[in-house]
Amino acid sequence: MANVNVGIDRVEAATGSLRPVVMGVISLCSGTLWNHIRLQQGQSGPRERPEGHYMRHVVVVSAGGPVADFWSPGKRYIAHRVPPGNVIVYPAGMPHAARWSASKSTIIDIAPEFVQSVAGHDVAANHLELHPAFAIQDDVVANFAFTLGAEALADGPNGSLYGEGLGTALVAHLLRCHGTVPQHVLAGVHALSAAELHRIKRYIEENLDAHLSLQRLADVLRINIYRFVRSFKQSTGLSPHRYVLERRIAQSRLLLADPNLPLVEVALRSGFSSQSHFSTAFRRLMNITPGRYRRALGVSSATPT
């Protein structure tokens, strides 16, 4: 991916005006691959950011080991070494300032409304908090950053539900280990009832060609995203993204039998965002390309594939 010199939006506490945070040269950006979650990887030379705050929750995973000074309300600047794998958490809206030496890092920013959706809209916003963390070791967060980075580098071959599922698990971990949340929200979950499972499977089947987000699927059952993901897997043995992927591939196999449908049409009707994403997913799951699969059926395509 081409380098871009952009950053995550930051708001100056004094003026409330938006401005970009330039992290330096960004080598990887997830863009719009996933709803409510963005990832950037890059590097920066020595830099100082004056007091301000982020509009979204920001998690930084160090890859380079800078020396950094952090300031937050009621505290003076405190120096920290930030070795590779160490994590910094900036809650949305928290005033802070920072200065650091040259660094490499992965930045994940998370929309506050996604945190609310993971916990459930019945939980009051003031009961959901993330606490700031500076230069702490958190292997779970570092592993999420690595996995999301690999997915973004490959241009999201597993689809948006995969990234949203990782984001849900990341948010749950942040709330559990770096925040506060009502105890019942992240408590153990139970399998879906037979009626709930039938309802969600029918909804997925009827909407395979539509954009399916975890929020939409959870809304069908009127439960929060966290419970939906855990309960669905307990009931089916598959994560939501894997189940939807398998159903879309099954749909595409039926469509490939029609010689009048080009591959791009098969892809779109099966719910894939593009022919290239479809071809990648089909090959990974079936160990054969869609074109070769079609020829193996003895179908002579009337249009180029």
* Domains of the chain and CATH, by start: 9-180 (2.60.120.10), 194-242 (1.10.10), 252-296 (1.10.10.60)
pLDDT given for residue 302 in this prediction: 52
Q: How confident is the model at residue 300 (pLDDT cuts 50, 70, 90)?
A: low
Decide: 63 and 24 in contact? Cβ < 8 Å.
no
Query: In sequence order, what E strands does 148-254 have?
Result: 179-180
Dihedral sign, Cα of residue 285, residue 286, residue 291, residue 297: negative
257/118 Cα distance (integer angstroms): 40
Mean pLDDT of the chain: 86
For tokens 């958190």, name the residue. 138
pLDDT given for residue 17 in this prediction: 32
Element spanning 119, H or E: helix 112-119
pTM: 0.86
Dihedral sign, Cα of residue 243, residue 189, residue 195, residue 221: negative
Q: Which of 103, 43, 42, 36 is nearest to 69 (CA)?
A: 103
pLDDT tens for each residue of 218-270? 999 999 999 999 999 999 999 999 999 999 999 999 999 999 999 999 999 99
Q: Which of 94, 97, 30, 24 is nearest to 64 (CA)?
A: 24
pLDDT tens for each residue of 126-135? 778 899 998 8
pLDDT given for residue 234 in this prediction: 95
Q: How many CB atoms lie within 10 A of CB 260?
A: 9
Q: Which of 137, 140, 60, 130 is nearest to 100 (CA)?
A: 60
Strand partners, 42: 26, 105
pLDDT given for residue 102 in this prediction: 80
289/292 Cα distance (integer angstroms): 5
pLDDT given for residue 88 in this prediction: 92
pLDDT tens for each residue of 80-119? 888 889 999 999 999 989 888 888 899 999 999 999 999 8
For tokens 């993901």, name the residue. 229
Q: Which of 100, 39, 103, 96 is nearest to 65 (CA)?
A: 103
Count each helix (H run) and each strand (E run) in the chain, helices first: 10, 14
